[in-house]
Structure 1
Amino acid sequence: MSVLPDYDLVILGGGTAAFAAITEASGRGLSTAMVNTGLPLGGTCVNVGCVPSKHLLAVGDQAATPQENPFKAVQYSDGEPTVDWEAALDGTDELVERFRQENYVDVAEHFETDIYEGYGQLVDDTTIEVVDGADEGARITGEKALVATGSSPWAPPIDGLNDVYYYTSETILEERNLPESIVMLGGGYIALEWGQILHRVGVDVTILQRSDRVLSGMEGQLGREMQRAFEDQGIEVITGNDFQRVRAPAGDGGAEAMQSGVAVETTVDGTEQTVTGDALFVAAGVQPNSEGIGLETVGVETNDDGTIHVDEQFQTTNPDVYAAGDVIGEPELETVAAKEGNHAVKNAFGNEGVSIDYSAVPAVVFTDPEVAAVGTTELEYMTEHGTCSCRTIQMADVPRAKAVKNIDGLVQVVKHHETDEIVGVHMVGPRAADMIMEATLAVKFGLTVDGIIDTVHPFPTFSEAFKHACQAFRRDTSTMSCCVE
């Protein structure tokens, strides 16, 4: 006689994908349980990702406002602002604790989800055992299982890196006494956001990127614009690095030597350089938390990069086990993880066959200026079609940007060369994170540039930049009055 499962759905992980799953499961009257492995309940976003970084970005933005004030009518007599970093982290901790309680602990209780704390492993098909931690020894079985263990910071294979202490986006949140200078390895969104945070609270920041531009996975103009903006703000950016070695000039490289110095030996354009600082910050990307959780035991296969192999319905190679979130790979975004967790439950228990169109998922970097993008890049379109119909306008030509003297940035629109449907939008500038949603709808539903032009936009707003970029396909925007249609 077969043993009945303890729950309808058991989940390994306690982050965004897991909570989206229990929300959908509750609406279907399903019983659920999760083993929260790794970070505190809520996962990366609330604990060490979106919430703390965006809070600290706002702290840095407030600190930078006086020295970057563009209005001669506004003066500051006290000189440059100072930031109490310890107080900033205390405020971050309070915010994280409130989010964790209200958005995760209370939600799990509302949906009557049983929470088991500790390191969990799949041990028999859809059975999860807590092998270490507060609830060690507990075993839970479900009709279906979901793996949503997330990701962790990744360190590239550079000689000597493992012999020195370095910060990551997680460990920096534990550091109450910042060094005077930091060398940062990486040029993606984590490096840019944290680079700007640290610079604005008084740390001398040098960013070292392996490729020829920062944000190398995005439209080329965005990375070049952000490098220019960062250098104008006083952040040194060195691209095209061929890293040779990392070493600690003093001490034995342990945590106690953290601020005694670090040296990165690199080659740029054939020239050997040594970049030094008081500390090192590695922001080279993330890796899936897929090792040591029993995947092989239950027949769940992984890809070469360690991500869990799933089909379009988020089913693994074990038909009773699904996976969602960062552990299945890009795009590693909180909102995508939520959608994947929701869809996994719909497919597992409703056989709905729902999937995600990742080409219409927006990406945002919350720096100043902000970066946002959705859809196809110019290079991708050229590669596929051998031609490209693209237009770029500068934020300096947008009335709202000129009015408030916030003119950094640009907007590029990529359209289909035959149908005029918008297939990609890429922008740098103020409010880009909010402006990208109109562009996302355009890409998702195949709107044309004429459809955007024909839609009345409020004046004066930053959102007019998207309309102006569409108008650039039809007219010379340099000879256009503010509200011309």
Structure 2
Amino acid sequence: MTSDPQYDLVILGGGAAAFAAITEASRRDLTTAMVNTGLPIGGTCVNVGCVPSKHLLAVAENGAAAAENPFDAVRYLEEPTVDWADALDGTDALVERFRQENYVDVAEHFETDIYEGYGQLVDSEGRSPSGNRTQSGDDTTIEVVDGADEGARITGKKALVATGSSPWAPPIDGLDDVDYYTSETILEERDLPESIVILGGGYIALEWGQILHRVGVGVTILQRSEHVLSGMEGQLGREMLRAFEEEGIEVITGNDFQRVRTPAAAGGIKTRQSGVAVETAVDGTERTITGDALFVATGVQPNSDGIGLASVGVETDNNGRIHVDEHFQTTNSHIYAAGDVIGEPELETVAAKEGNHSVRNAFGNEAVSIDYDAVPAVVFTSPEVAAVGTTELEHTEEHGTCSCRTVQMEDVPRAKAVKDTDGLVQVVKHHETDEIVGVHTVGPRAADMIVEATLAVKFGLTVGDIIDTVHPFPTFSEAFKQACQAFRRDTSKMSCCIE
């Protein structure tokens, strides 16, 4: 590619936010280019996140189907097994197809130029962090300093930083000296260990813990706080702890991690599978948890280092998250930022919405923003976890009271009929207006059920609006309606089809 080409929009990154941005830019007949490095085009979701993990969750679920069959009438002559290497081969093929069809072909369709390599923003004096002179002025320039297109420089009227995030490891003594898996590197391992210790209790830890358990790995999950999914409604974490322990996954909460160590293998060579020991304190009692390997699932950190942010006047916080206003504009008026690099919620759909809004604001002065209170969060375990809006604790802290109702899935007709009764639905309504402000659920199809709840929170629907809406019978979605009915009646004394 030639150097110094001029574009309307230049983008650092090649994930969801970037592709939502070029889609909106194309609609406006804007010229675009992106500089991508690290993960292949498509970013975390398609390469090492949503697509591979959900595929492997389905593989593992089918592998565990015989063990979890609740019906006496169904008999298996032979237990199913999962060939992990074959599962990863299938995952790789799926990812490759997604990447080509949903990203590479899309970029070509929108006539977006893609530069491969490590990009850096250029300062207002026309100098990049590498020291090379570039043009000055109101436009923003990105210099490719490493990779296939090293030396290329692209300039845009506006720029979008959408560099995503990477797995983060906490500062635990000895952890830097131990080889461990992350949600990215586990996808490269064809020969799984017999047992694994997972640090963390968020959605990555739970999803991967269940995948690995169901393909035959002994799993122990260590969570620092008092319950898993600590950022969600407390009932959800407690319900998932019970479900995991019933399945045979050991979960230990309330850890105060002291040290991580690994013994040396023969000849002093250490590998991920040479063993690991996590020294911790639980309720004041010292414990040592051992396994063949370690998996760190303690969160992510923004990919904001080394891309020239300071040189162009883009500020970050102490954790590296880029400061943006409600319209995704950074402290440099010509540069916007979107996706994981600006912080929570680190979700593909949110990144895409932020990327779209950045273009609308940068080129259309539309001043659009996102109501993050109406963004649903989902954990694709079995049972699934889904939530949107305010928790009981948050509403109580703000208003001094809370009006909440919880229905157990074992009381929902569809759940009883198919013998899939793990879970619950909790509805939080405003104590004065009856508007639904939060819905939190564990159970079958929770990821699909949360859509109706999201609309309720987003548009201020009341519990009466949900009760007055006819729901098909028997469905799991009736659990939401039943939780709303619980504000008006004793649902334990109610026929299946009322109101």
SS in 2 for 1:33: strand
- Counterpart of 1:362 in structure 2 is 376
- Distance (whole Å) between structure 1 residues aligned to residue 175 and residue 319 of structure 2: 20
Cα pair distance change 1:139/1:255, threshold 3 Å: farther
Q: Match of 1:166? A: 180
Matched with 1:122 is: 121
Match for residue 451 of structure 1?
465
Which runs of no fewer than 5 residues in structure 1 stay unpaired? none
For the 8 Å contact 1:178–1:203, the answer to whether it is kept is yes
**Post-superposition offset of 1:37:** 2.2
| SS, match of residue 458 in structure 1 | coil
Superposition deviation, residue 249 in structure 1: 2.2
2:466–2:484 CA contact under 8 A, matched in 1:
yes
Indicate how the Cα distance of structure 1 residues 9 and 67 shifts in structure 2: closer, same or farther if over 3 A, else same.
Answer: same
Describe the SS at the equivalent of 1:412: strand
Q: Deviations over 1:255-298 (max 9, x none)?
A: 84211100000000010000000000000000000000000111
Change (3 A) 1:287 1:73: same
Percent identity over paired residues: 85
Map 1:37-48 to 2 at 5 A.
37-48=37-48
Report the secondary structure of 2:257's partner residue: strand
Judged with a 3 Å threshold, the aligned counterparts in structure 2 of structure 1 residues 356 and 86 are, in CA distance, closer, same or farther, namely same
How far apart in 1 are the matches of 2:403 and 2:113? Answer: 53
Q: Is the 8 A contact 1:377 1:414 kept in 2?
A: yes
Find the aligned partners of 1:197 and 1:250 in 2 and give their Cα distance.
28
Following superposition of structure 1 onto structure 2, how do residues 93-242 of structure 1 map, counting pairs within 5 Å?
A: 93-125=92-124, 126-242=140-256
SS at match of 1:457: coil
Q: 5 Å matches for 1:343-422? A: 343-422=357-436
| Whole-angstrom distance in 1 between the partners of 2:165 and 2:198 | 20
Distance in 2 (alpha carbons) for counterparts of 1:209 and 1:259:
22
**Are the aligned partners of 1:120 and 1:132 in contact in 2 as well (CA < 8 Å)?**
yes
Is the contact between residue 264 and residue 270 of structure 2 (CA under 8 Å) also seen in structure 1? no
Structure 2: how far apart are the matches of 1:38 and 1:337?
Answer: 18
Letter in 2 for 1:444: K
* Contact 2:158/2:362 (<8 A) preserved: yes
- Partner in structure 1 of residue 83 of structure 2: 84
Q: Distance in 1 between matches of 2:335 and 2:273?
A: 45
Q: Give the letter for the 1:118 counterpart.
A: G
CA distance in 2, matches of 1:376, 1:215: 15
3-state SS of the aligned residue for 2:258?
strand
Partner of 2:482: 468
CA-to-aligned-CA distance 1:118-168 (integer Å, 9 cap, x gap): 111112351111111111111000000000000000000000000000000
Question: What are the Cα deviations for residues 25-50 of structure 1, in whole angstroms up to 9, with x where unaligned?
Answer: 00000000000121000000000000
Paired position in structure 1 for 2:31:
31
Deviation at 1:304, TM superposition (A): 1.9
Contact 2:302 2:341 in 1 (8 A): yes
Q: How far, CA to CA, are the matches of 1:111 and 1:257 in structure 2? A: 45
| Aligned equivalent of 1:9 | 9
Alpha-carbon distance between aligned partners in 2 of 1:5 and 1:120, rounded to the nearest angstrom = 15
1:302 aligns with 2:301: no
Contact kept, 8 Å, 1:165 with 1:253, in 2: the verdict is: no
**Measured at CA, do residues 253 and 40 of structure 1 come closer, stay the same or move farther in structure 2, by a change above 3 Å?**
farther
Map of 1:275 onto structure 2: 289
Asked if 1:286 is matched to 2:304, the reply is no
Q: State the alpha-carbon separation in 2 of the partners of residues 430 and 445 from structure 1.
A: 25
Asked if the contact 1:183–1:207 (Cα under 8 Å) also holds between the matched residues in 2, the reply is: yes
- Tell whether 2:70 aligns with 1:64: no
Measure the CA separation in 2 of the matches of 1:223 and 1:349. 43
Please, what TM-score do these two structures have when normalized by structure 2? 0.95
- 1:478 alignment partner, SS class: helix
How many Å separate the matches in 2 of 1:96 and 1:209?
A: 30
- Matched residue type, 1:388: C
CA–CA separation in structure 1 for the residues paired with 2:98 and 2:159: 26
Identify if the C-alpha distance between structure 1 residues 32 and 252 changes in structure 2 by more than 3 Å, giving closer, same or farther.
farther
Judge conservation of contact 1:163–1:253 (CA < 8 Å) in 2: no
Partner residue, 2:260: 246
Give distance in 2, aligned partners of 1:293 and 1:224: 41
Contact 1:393 1:465 in 2 (8 A): yes
Residue 424 of structure 1 aligns to a residue whose secondary structure is: strand
Code of the residue aligned with 1:124 in structure 2: it is D
Task: Give how far 1:367 is off.
Answer: 0.2
Q: Judge conservation of contact 1:449–1:470 (CA < 8 Å) in 2.
A: yes
Preserved CA contact (<8 Å) 1:160 1:246: yes
Quick check: 1:5–1:143 contact (8 Å CA) kept in 2?
no
Number of positions where the alignment pairs a residue of Structure 1 with one of Structure 2: 482
Residue of structure 2 equivalent to 1:336 = 350
CA distance, structure 2, for counterparts of residue 39 and residue 382 of structure 1: 42
* SS of structure 2 residue aligned to 1:66: helix
| Shift in Å, 1:52 | 0.2
Shift of 1:238: 0.1
**Partners in 1 of 2:122 and 2:367 — Cα distance?**
27
CA distance in structure 1 between the aligned counterparts of 2:469 and 2:173, rounded to whole angstroms: 55
Preserved CA contact (<8 Å) 2:178 2:261:
yes
Report the 3-state secondary structure (helix = DSSP H, G, I; strand = E; otherwise coil) of the residue aligned with 2:68: coil
Distance 1:304 1:412, change over 3 A: same
| 1:428 aligned counterpart, secondary structure | strand
TM-score, structure 1 normalization: 0.98
